[in-house]
Structure formats: C-alpha cells, structure tokens
A and B are shown apart, each in its own frame.
Chain A
Amino acid sequence: MILGYAGKFLEVDLSTGNIKDIKFDDDILREYVGGRGLATKILWERLGSKWETVDTLGPENILLFLTGPLTGFFPGARICVSGKSPQSNGVVGSTVAGEFGVELKCAGYDGIIVTGEAERPVYLFVKDSDVEVRDASHVWGKDAKQTVALLTEECRGLLKERFPRYGEWKEPAMLYIGPAGENKVRTAVVVTKWTHAAGYGGYGAVMGSKRLKAVVVKGTGPLPEVADMEKVKQLTQAVCEDIYESELWRRWGTGSAGYEVGAKTSSEPVRNWQEEWHDEKSYGVDKFENRVWIKPYWGDFGCPTTCLKIAMVKTGKFKGAITDNPDYELQAYLGTNLGIFTPEENVFLASLIDDLGLCGIQTGNSLGFVAELFQRGILTKEDLNGLEPKWGDAEAFASLARKIAFREGIGDLLAEGTYRAALKIGEMKNVDVLRCAVQCKGIGIGAHGIRSGKDYPINISYACSVQGGDHTSTACLPLDDSRSELVMIFHDSAVYCYFNIFGIPRKLKFEFYKAVTALELTQEEWCNTKALRILQLQRAMLLLGGPDLKWNPKIHDTNPPRFYEPLPSGPYKGKTVDKAKVEEDKRRYYKAVGWDKNGVPKSEILRKLGLKDVDRALEKLRH
C-alpha cells in the first residue's frame, strides 16, 4: 500500500442500498494519484464504453468525492468532486476547500463513489467505518444555512447517543446541495460551510438527480501514515513561511482583483463582457474590508493564507446578507458583470446564490447573458415573466436567480446553463444569440478575459482546455508552465489548494509528494506521462460527449465570439484576439499534446501512454 492513502474507498449504490469497501491497485494510484486523475480513470473504466449514451442526470452517472495523497498534509485541504459533467458532458475535477477530505481520510477512506439513485431524499452518514444511508426528507428543500444547522445538530445528536461517554463531539464535515441541486439545475454546486462550493462541472445537479442531499462524515482516526513526517513538517513550514510574508495576499485574498483586474489589466467581465474595464473606485477591496467584512481571516484545515473572509451587510435594504468575501470571481460575476458596483449589493447576491446552492460564476454568466438580450430587445419583459433585468438592478437579478434554482418560468430554461439556453432562445427568436454567450464547451468562462493580453490566461487557455471555461484549469504552452492544466492536474489529483504554492519552488510539491508517499516524481515525468495520460482521457470523454450535446473541435475549440470584438473602453481600448493567431497557437498546442489537426488525440500518443482502448473509442471521430 502506498503511504499517505487511507487504503480503501467507499462505494454506495443508492438504487439498492448496497454499501461496500473497494480498493485500487497501487499501480493505479501511482499513475492517477487521486482526485481529478483518479476520477478520470474510474469514469473511463466504468462508463467509457457507453460514454455517449450516459445521461449525466440519470442513475447511470457516477458521483465521486475523492481526496488525494496530499490532502490534509499539504497546507490547505480540499476535496475533489467529479462525475460526468451535466455542463460539458466530459469530466471536470471540481475541488472545494474545507474539512471534508480530512474527516474522510481520518474515517479510513480515500474517497466515496456513489452510483444509482435513491427512491426518496437521503443523506449519507459516515462515522469511521460505520456507514448509513439516512432519510433526508426533512431537509429536502432547505437552503444552505438551514441544512447545515439541521444536519449538524442531528448528526452530533447521533454521535452523542451512540458514544455517550466520549465527551463533546465536534461537528462532522458536510457536503450538501441547496434547492438548485435538488431541482437538477445544471449550474448547481456541491457546497460546504455555507459558502464554499465545488462549482465547475455542475455536480450539485448530479447529487440532486441521485436524491442525495448531503454527505456527512466524522472520522476519529489519524491521517494516514507518511513516509517521512519530519520532512512533511519541514516542507509545511517552508510553505507557510513563504505565505506569511505576503501580508496583502492574506489580508485581501483574491478580493483585490476586483479593482486590479477590472481597472489595471482590464480583463474583468463588465455587463456580460461587453466591456472588461471599469474605473469604479467604489469596488476596491478596501470598501469590502472596511464596510462589510466581519471576519478578516477565515480559513480551512491547515491553511496559512486564510484568503477567505466573512462578509455581512449591516445597513440598507440588503441588511443581514451573509457570505464569504465575496472572492474575486463572485465580485465580478455577481457584481461588475451585472453592472453592480457596490459591496452591499454584491454580498446580497452572493449570499442568495449560496443559499440556493447555485454556482456564482455560472449563474452570473447566465444572468449577464439574459440582461444583454434584454438590453438588445431580444428578450422582453413578457419573455421574462414580467421581470426587467436592467444593469445594476440587484433585486431583478435575485428574482431571476430564484427562478433558476426552482426552475420556474424562464428560470427553467436558464437552469440549463448559458450555452444550452442560448441554443433554445436562438431557436425561439430566430436570432443568433450565441454571440452573447461567453462560454466554452458548456462552461461559462471564469472572470479572467484574454483581450487585453495582460491577465494570466492566453488566447487558447479556454479554447483548448479539457475543462472548457474553467479559469483554474487552462491550456498553455509550454506544457510545464505553471499556468498549464497539466500542472493543475497535479494540484487537483494530489488534492490541495494551489493558492498556497504561488511563491514556492515548483519542485517543492513533488518533494512533498515524496515525503508523504515515498514515491519519486519530477515535473518532467509528471507532464510527459501521467498528467498527459489524464489529459488524453479527459479530452476523449469530452469529445465523445452526449447524449444531448457533442463538441466538434473545429467549431468548439475556440473562444466565445465576444472575445473577437475589440475592447470598447479602458486602457486597452481596441485590443482584441487575433483569430489567425489563435488557429496557429491551437495547431502548436495540438502538436505538443499529440492531437491531430482536428483536435482528436492521435493513435500514436494514446498507444505510447498505454491507452489502446481510448484509441479504439476515438476511431469514429477521426476523419
């Protein structure tokens, strides 16, 4: 058994109620590590042969909660949620911070595999090796804060009753869905601690389709044994000391980007990306810090950065709204992208999105899309159930968000996500509205634009990514660049927070991996073999797609049309993305990762990586 792993996985079939422990061979864990890598392997093994026919919201889909060997050890613990994505029909490794991964490993499990679907609402309660599927009808329909309160009380009560002499029980860790997940909204998230969400991929909808309201875990054992604890301590100290020197990164988190990205690099979505620049000083991070943050440092297990903060509105009509910072992405998507430039309105919308269990990025993307169609007169008040989503009208956007979460009226259409909604609206109105849809392969693009050329993503970052619009996993050359998704696959597979690695030498993460697992690994080996293999599998499943949508690289390996329009304002006014250059860089990228001119992985690379079955499956896509 490889050190750093608990040594077993829990598999729960919600259709039959069967619960069992399973193991993976060391060879598999050595190659696929955990989290995103292992998810890709599991999904391919189990669903690969019928991938195109698997309905992401049907019982056949598999929902995964996976830790990695570094979870709990590397500062900043996370858990990776995955499955076949209801957004892209591919695989997304969606990670979220919190204690869940640590509790799970302390309970003796490296991950949970959920199959089938329950007849009625249930939640899973794991206490070490005791696992039960429990009735969740009393929490079905409850929002985030109610769900956390009710299940925390209930599960602590069970622990108290079963272990009366233990003393006081700490809260178990919990992943849950809100009403949006229950209603199978494709932009629903898997949430923990009110505000932390595994957003990209739409796995809240998968959880909802399985009628799984929550997974609650209490583990009382230690984290697994490691190869060299002294080295783990020493490397942890090195990571922390580096972070402790970054005072403003710790103080502001990603919040400073609300002004930095919006004003300086001019790459923040403003009014559905019609602009990427604003000079609204009301939106500086100081305004958030001084007006709404009631907890300046809020962190998850082992985190030296504590980039999160708790915000609460104290005055005005949105008084009482509570969320985290919001972080940069939500400042942008539930702020500037909707023409909103005040912290209070932004906190109000983020708080509502948390409570409903929606993704702030994807929902903000869809709301901006609708508002632009309204601005252009393509959608009218009548189409929108009497609502008039004007830029800056937080209450109108809140009403729309509620409709999305409950799939009411126009919300039912928008609950399909921007891309699918655009296809339908285009059909209804006989107008091409895809030009206003800022997404890639069914996934709304993160709040970092590429037109100014001053932010970190490049012209093919989203177009060639196996996770579409996901701003955390972007395509980049050279393949071992810190922005390349091949490197990100390591963070997402060893499962820890990459916000804690910015200032440290790139080899440190592999030294850490060795201190935990005793396995040698270099960036070169990782990028040329293991990560590349995971990437090919993700690409293969993304291209196989289905059943409702398939991607053709010739059409879909591109940027949203908006990115080819010149920036209308700001310091980089007039700048845009050169289509010919995108094509050229795409060809270079395809070549580097071993894809043919149509973007399909070549036999040669697949066979070299030992993926013969993938090669055979992709044969039909080659022309």
Chain B
Amino acid sequence: MPTKKEPIWIARELSKCSGCRKCEIACSLFHENRIWPEASRIRVFMLVPGTEFPHFCAQCEDYPCVQVCPTKALSISKKTGAVLVKTKDCIACGKCIDACPGRISHMHPTENRIIICDLCRGNPQCVKVCQEGGWNVLKIVPRKDQAYRLYARTPEEITRDLATKMYGEQGKEYV
C-alpha cells in the first residue's frame, strides 16, 4: 500500500466487474451523502449485459481536461494526482468532456458543474467496497510515469472490446 503522501492511481481490471455498482453507492455516499448513481464520479456502464465496467477518471499523464478548461476550474492535486474541480469557477461548458479521450467526466445531475473522480482525497471509497466484496476490479497502486491514458476510452469503445472478449464474433450483434 502506498503511503498517503505520494500520488496514487487506481489500477483496474474491467472484465472482472460484476455490475454490483457498490462503487457507485460508496462514491455518492462519500461525496453527496446520498445513494445517487448519476452523481457518482465512478459510473458502471452496462450497454450490453455482461459487459459491465466502471468508467472513471484515468488521470492521463498529460491531463488534457485541465489544459482546456477556460476558467481554470480544474487543477491537479499534488497530494493524490487527482483532477480537482473548483466548483464556483466551473461554467459547465463541457470542454473537458470533449478533451477527455474517454469522455469520462459528466455534469452533476442537478447542479450546473462538472464532476470528476477526486480519488476521495487519497482514500478511494470505490476501491474499498470492491475489495471487501472480493471482486478486486479496483486496486490502489503508487502513481508512476505510465500510460494511464490508455484507460481513458469511451464507453462504446470499452463495451465493444469487452463484448468481443466475452462473446467473440457474436459480441458485435449486441452493441
């Protein structure tokens, strides 16, 4: 386990996801004190049954979302490496979504601002519940100089890949 001082990353093995959505429950309870799937910073997509996977910020090496933010509402946490949103500066323009190779972040469902995984200030709740349940889709590792942005893919792209892995040729019919 990395110490709390160094930046972390959440390693992910998408094809093991059971679709239980405990990560969404934990995330929304932590950030909103409600069970609120649409306000969760980690969202489990299930565009095709069986291809459930958690979709959340990969903290790309070059942080394209932070670079395009016109109001500088986005910044990088030195402590954790997470993208932080300065709520009052966000104008909900959506430029960060377009800049994200995986179109991962989305608007808060009731407030006019973007929401992005903040790694729960270094103690990600999603990882905790995923490990407690023994699914181990998510795991905390120290952040290193690696190609994290490979995990920033659109839901459609990930779904197509997982459907192929799960169902072979037939996978195409279901997407």
Q: How many A-B residue pairs have CB under 8 A?
A: 122
Contacts of A106 in B (CB 8 A): 36-38
Which residues of A from 102 to 143 have beta carbons under 8 Å from B? 102, 106
* Cross-chain contact of B36 among A194, A195, A221, A240 (Cβ < 8 A): A221
* B46 and chain A: residue at smallest CB distance: A171
* A300 in contact with B92 given A149-B174, A171-B46 (CB within 8 Å): no
Contacts A72-B35, A102-B37 given; does A312 touch B167 at CB 8 Å: yes
Query: Closest A-chain residue to B95, C-beta based?
Result: A165
For chain B residues 21-45, which have a beta carbon within 8 Å of chain A?
21-22, 25, 28-29, 32-39, 43-45
Contact indicator per residue, chain B 93-134, by CB within 8 Å of chain A (1) or not (0): 110010000011111011000100000000000000000111
Given the interface pairs A145-B173, A220-B38, A294-B166, the reply to whether A165 lies near B107 with Cβ below 8 Å is yes
Chain B residues with Cβ below 8 Å from A170 are: 37-38, 43-46, 155
Per-residue interface assignment for chain A, residues 215 to 235, with 1 indicating a CB less than 8 Å from any chain B CB and 0 otherwise: 000011111010001000100
Q: B19 touching A298 by the CB < 8 A rule?
A: yes
Binds A, one of B1-9, B47-55, B68-76, B77-85: B47-55
Question: Using a CB-CB cutoff of 8 Å, which residues 127-166 of chain B contact chain A?
Answer: 132-135, 154-155, 166
Q: Which residues of B contact A561 (CB under 8 A)?
A: none
B31 to chain A minimum Cβ distance, whole angstroms, is 11
Which residue of chain B is the closest to A102 with respect to CB atoms?
A: B37
Inter-chain contact A310/B166, CB cutoff 8 Å:
yes
Q: Pick the contact of B20 from A193, A219, A294, A302 — CB < 8 Å?
A: A302
Query: How many Å lie between the Cα of A168 and that of B97 in the bound state?
Result: 9
Which residues of chain A from 299 to 340 have any CB-CB distance to chain B below 8 Å in the complex? Answer: 299-304, 306, 310, 312, 320, 322
Q: How many residues of B contact A (CB 8 A)?
A: 51
A168 and B20 contacting across the interface, CB-CB below 8 Å: no
Residues of A within 8 A of B47 (CB): 152, 156, 171
Q: How far is the CA of A475 from the CA of B21 in the complex (A)?
A: 35
* Chain B contacts for A249, CB-based, 8 A: none
CB-CB contacts below 8 Å: A572-607 with B: none
Contact, CB under 8 Å: A301 / B20:
yes
Interface string of A530-562 (1 = CB under 8 A from B): 000000000000000000000000000000000
Contacts of A312 in B (CB 8 A): 166-167
Q: A229 to chain B: which residues have CB within 8 Å? A: 29, 33-34
Establish whether residues B133 and A304, one from each chain, have CB atoms under 8 Å apart when the complex forms: yes
A167 at the interface (CB under 8 A from B): yes
Instruction: Give the A interface residue count (CB, 8 A).
Output: 45
CA distance A352 to B148 in the complex (A): 41
Q: A167-B94, A299-B20 are in contact. Are A222 and B34 (CB under 8 A)?
A: yes
Question: Contact at B20–A306, with CB atoms within 8 Å?
Answer: yes
With A168-B103, A229-B33 as contacts: A222 and B39 at CB distance below 8 Å: yes
A240-B132 contact in complex given A149-B173, A299-B19, A306-B18, C-beta closer than 8 Å: yes
Contact B94–A165 (Cβ < 8 Å): yes
Do B48 and A149 have beta carbons less than 8 Å apart?
yes
Contacts of B36 in A (CB 8 A): 106, 221-223
Q: Is A244 an interface residue (CB 8 A)?
A: yes
Interface residues of A in 181-204 (CB under 8 A from B): 193-195
> From residue B167, how far is it (CB to closest CB) to chain A in Å?
7
| Chain B, Cβ-Cβ closest to A76 | B20
How far apart sit A476 and B89, CA to CA, in the bound complex (Å)?
63
The chain A residue sitting closest to B134, CB to CB, is A244
With contact pairs A168-B103, A222-B36, A244-B134 given, residues A303 and B20 touching in the complex (Cβ less than 8 Å): yes
Distance, CA A477 to CA B35, complexed state (A): 38
A348 within 8 A of B: no
Q: Chain B nearest CB: distance from A431 CB in Å?
A: 44
Instruction: Compute how far the CA of A149 lies from the CA of B167 in the bound complex, rounded to whole angstroms.
Output: 15
Is B132 in contact with A171, judged by CB distance below 8 angstroms? Answer: no
5 A-B contact pairs sorted by A residue (CB < 8 Å): A165-B94, A221-B36, A244-B134, A301-B21, A304-B20
A-B CB proximity, top 10 nearest: A167-B106, A222-B36, A222-B34, A220-B109, A299-B20, A297-B18, A165-B94, A223-B35, A220-B38, A193-B49
